Amino acid sequence: MIAAPFHAGERALQTLAGSREQMEEFGSRIIRDRMPEQHRAFFAQLPFLMVGSLDAELQPWASALAAPAGFMQSPDAAHLHVGALPAAGDPLAGQLKQGALLGLLGIEPHTRRRNRMNGTVESLDAGGFMVAVQQSFGNCPRYIQAREPVLAPVRGGEPPVQWLDKLDLAAHRLIGSADTLFIATAYPNEVAQGDEADASSHGVDVSHRGGRPGFVRIDGDDTLTVPDFNGNRFFNTLGNLAVHPRAGLLFIDFDSGDLLHLAVTAEIVWNGPEVEAFEGAERLMRFHVTHALRRPAALPLRWGDAALSPHLAGTGQWNTGMRALADGR
């Protein structure tokens, strides 16, 4: 167990939410510096892995790696070997080196299971890399859409990466219809000076967000607004954003395998009419896109139709009135 697993940003948000005392006790029991046996077995059965990384400019990026199930193996409770490497166009390719901080999310959408592991790259080889565990913990299944991935044949050649000066029509269509996104955030060592939390709380995190199709609102060419629903009260993502307001978003085209990576700056809308107007939202996250790249057919997985999470029944949708509120902010 880790005695002080939450950093200053996470603790501040837990205090605002009135959950600090509960999380102090609960977090130290749930967040471990080793992977339990069920987590080790879980990663080994997955055909893909979500990875959060941090570039030299302290910009987080979210990425995905895929290979036949079994490409991840845990030789012991303190390590996970990932038997895959990012393609040249993946932002992760530039960050993957010994000592790099990574956030890992193992997620099995069709069973709505997910487990998190944050750590450091201990070594690399020709086929993959070894991650040493810093923090390991499970996540609740809420807001995960049930869809099952199937490996697709790998095509010859690597489609060119498309850098976007602004979100184009294809990006708007993907984002505007999305029911799922992945978000990478960070608590870099450069931000953590003087924090009494355990050093394992420093680093990168990658997480899942889900909602009804269209839960991400697009304002203009470069601003996205996303409702934040009730969660586990750890505030890993929002705690990072509170002290380091930058994030990496990843949208997946589940039909084609296209990946859309976004580098964004972030702000949290704590309250007000916009929040109140969206049923189920406790707050909003607003993202301003600074960089975007599209990687066509980069993920060799295809999914069938999704069964939306039953927890979405109590959540709202964007409407014209909410857009008017946003325009008047």
Summarised one tens digit per residue, pLDDT across range 132-171 is: 999 999 888 899 999 999 999 877 667 789 999 899 999 9
As a whole number of angstroms, the distance between CA 86 and CA 125 comes to 13
Question: Which pair of tokens denotes residue 100?
Answer: 């790099």
Split at pLDDT 50, 70, 90, the class of 218 is very high
pLDDT digits (tens, 9 = 90+) for 70-87: 999 999 999 999 999 999
> Looking at residue 202, what is its pLDDT?
83
Paired residues of 182 in beta bridges: 208, 250
> Looking at residue 249, what is its pLDDT?
98
Please name the amino acid found at residue 79.
Answer: H
> Which range (3-7, 215-219, 290-294, 300-304) has the least confidence?
3-7
> Looking at residue 74, what is its pLDDT?
98
Q: Does pLDDT of 324 surpass 50?
A: no
pLDDT digits (tens, 9 = 90+) for 28-62: 778 899 999 999 999 999 999 999 999 999 999 99
Q: Name, of 2-6, 13-17, 102-106, 301-305, the range with top average pLDDT.
A: 102-106
Which among 284, 290, 282 is positioned nearest to 323, based on CA atoms?
284
Question: What integer best gives the mean pLDDT of the chain?
Answer: 91
DSSP state of 160: P
> Looking at residue 233, what is its pLDDT?
76
> Looking at residue 47, what is its pLDDT?
98
> What burial letters (b/e) apply to 74-101, b meaning 16+ CB within 10 Å?
beebbbbbbebbbeebbbbeebbeeebb
Q: Does pLDDT of 194 surpass 80?
A: no
Quote the crossing angle between the two packed helices 20-30 and 8-17, to the nearest 10°: 130
As a whole number of angstroms, the distance between CA 321 and CA 286 comes to 17
Strands (E), 139-255: 149-151, 162-164, 180-187, 203-210, 217-219, 223-228, 246-252
> Looking at residue 1, what is its pLDDT?
66
Q: Mean of the pLDDT values across residues 15-27?
A: 80
Split at pLDDT 50, 70, 90, the class of 21 is confident
Question: For the domain with range 8-147+161-327, which CATH number is right: 3.20.20.70, 3.40.50.1220, 2.30.110.10, 2.70.40.10?
Answer: 2.30.110.10
> Looking at residue 117, what is its pLDDT?
95
> Looking at residue 5, what is its pLDDT?
84
